[in-house]
Amino acid sequence: MSVPGIREEILKAQAYVAGKTIEEVQREYGLESVIKLGSNENPYAPFPAARAAMIEEIDRIHEYPDASFRDLRANIGARFGRDASSVAIGHGAGGILETLAATFLRTGDEVILPTQSYGLYREISKVAGATVKEVSLNEQFTIDPDAMRAALTGKTRIVWLCNPNNPTGTVVDVAAYERLRDALPPTAWLVVDEAYAEFAAEENLPATAQDLDDHNVVIVRTFSKAFGLAGGRIGYAVARPDLVRVIDTVSEPFNANRIGIAGARACLTDDWPNVQAALKRLQASRTRLERELSARGLEVTTTHTNFVFFEVGVDADALAEAMLRRGVIVRSASAWGYPAHLRVTMGTEAQNDVFLSSLDSALDEIRKE
Ligand SMILES: Cc1ncc(COP(=O)(O)O)c(C=O)c1O
């Protein structure tokens, strides 16, 4: 069936494929107990102050939110040493990325993106009519900013850089990032998607916040991962104030909801110590999981996120399916061109135990086939 009148560019794009939900797996596999380690969510959330603030906000849900999102912008800005005018709010990092595509791209423009990365960059660029130039990760599963730099032309409008990268968890070399930043033509923007930055050590990431005034750099972050508000749909950009004003103009009005905003504010204030404690626990789980997987002879890629990307030596789709039957949702990396790799999100320690025993039994099953 075809939809009459549709823009030609849209025919080239594909719908975003989200990870399976717990409800879907319960239904499809007739299971009661399912754990989800497929979407990089935070198992320790919602945090107590965020939970209380969100519940309280329900009584005001009939009122539009403060369209300027003034308080949340100020809270975020303070964490980056900037004021509220440097922060734009959107419905998830995804909403901000879409707005950036709508802001900069028209038919015939070029974007540069890593082939094995967050899939939304490609689709929103295509929908806007841009020509997509892809640059493959290197053999260490890391984005190569020098290769992206080599792809720059006068037509480049956006370079999509995911750091740390989803699905591999790797970070770019800081000096190579700086070379890419310095080589941007005047009409090109480097969009640094830092959805997982809170899980990384600061010294492993470029100091992007220092680049906002003197370079065409914009930072995109989210409350969906470290702050555990994926269902609240709050993301943001940190950028120079003139770009923030443009993002606000292009976004639809009230593009974030009262409940998500209340939760996000609490995460940055009263819940800050709770968020930090959860990050510590997840980092400890990550170390343990890296060790456990390596001990099984599986090749683990060093990660700077709340997920681990590792080689399983068998067909990853079949293994992920065998794990679904055991009630554990993980992500096969085959769609990214890695047919023998899985991506697993850190759960609670109890969930990680279930993951490891399901992995052992699913691997046994597949190896026997
Ligand atoms: C790299 C990256 N960017 C952006 C997003 C979108 O996050 P949000 O929930 O804020 O839209 C995700 C979600 O998985 C992601 O992995």
For 23-67, what is each residue's pLDDT tens digit? 999 999 999 999 999 999 999 999 999 999 999 999 999 999 988
Per residue in 98-156, pLDDT tens? 999 999 999 999 999 999 999 999 999 999 999 999 999 999 999 999 999 999 999 99
Q: What is the pLDDT of residues 71-80, one digit of tens each?
A: 999 999 999 9
CB atoms within 10 A of CB 151: 15
The per-residue pLDDT of the chain, averaged, comes to 96
Residue 259's pLDDT band (boundaries 50, 70, 90)?
A: very high
Which mutation among 224, 255, 305, 309 tests ligand 1's pocket best, with the greatest number of atoms within 8 A of CB?
224
Does 192 sit in the ligand 1 pocket, CB within 6 Å?
Answer: no
Q: What angle do CA 84, 93, 56 make, to 5 degrees?
A: 70
Written as one letter, the residue type at 309 is F
- Give the model confidence (pLDDT) of 327-366 as tens digits: 999 999 999 999 999 999 999 999 999 999 999 999 999 9
Domain 48-268 CATH assignment equals 3.40.50.2300: no
Select from 17, 98, 118 the residue to mutate for testing ligand 1; criterion: most ligand atoms less than 8 Å from CB.
118
Residues 6+ apart with CB under 8 A from 90: 96, 99, 234, 235, 236, 237, 247, 251, 255, 256
Convert 158-187 to b/e letters by CB count within 10 Å (16 or more is b): bbbbbbbbbbbbbbbbeebbeebbebbeee
Query: HEC profile for 66-79?
Result: CCCCHHHHHHHHHH
What's the CATH class of domain 8-45+273-368?
alpha beta
Please report the pLDDT score of residue 28 as a whole number: 92
User: In which residue ranges of the chain is CATH 3.40.640.10 found?
Assistant: 48-268
For residues 369 and 364, give the distance between their C-alpha atoms in angstroms, rounded to a whole number: 9
CATH 3.90.1150.10 location in the chain: 8-45+273-368
1 pLDDT more than 60: no
Global pTM value = 0.97
